[in-house]
Amino acid sequence: MRKSSVFFIYLFIQIVLLGSMFTHASYKQQTGLSHLQEKVNLVQRLGLTDLCLFTEASYTRHLSLADFHTAFQDSPMALEHFPSGSLVIRPPMDKKMYENVD
């Protein structure tokens, strides 16, 4: 078989796999609807405000409700040193009405 034919077969397989990646994603979105609904119900029923992503410090657990100044919050030596602090950027804060208070 010609080398170019082998390459085109290889390319075809990869493109089919790429297409199946989108099909799989769409299938998982459909089959995962019940789980998604379960989470939506919990958020609605309990009035949850945040995702449970970082549980290492109290102020990283509820990012949207945390105080803006977190250093020294948990103990005198607790500088902002938790690893999640390097993952999350400060949220955009335009239109805040309590800027002067907080």
The 3-state secondary structure of 3-36 reads HHHHHHHHHHHHHHHHHHHHHHHHHHHHHCHHHH
Residues within the interface to another protein (CB under 8 A): 2-4, 6-7, 10-11, 14-15, 17-18, 21-22, 24-25, 28-29, 32, 35-36, 38-40, 42-58, 61-65, 67, 82-92, 95, 97-98, 101-102
Q: Which of 86, 43, 82, 92 is nearest to 59 (CA)?
A: 82
The minimum distance between CB 67 and another protein, in angstroms, equals: 6
- C-beta closer to another protein: residue 77 or 102: 102
- C-beta closer to another protein: residue 14 or 79: 14
> Distance between CA 22 and CA 16 in Å, rounded?
10
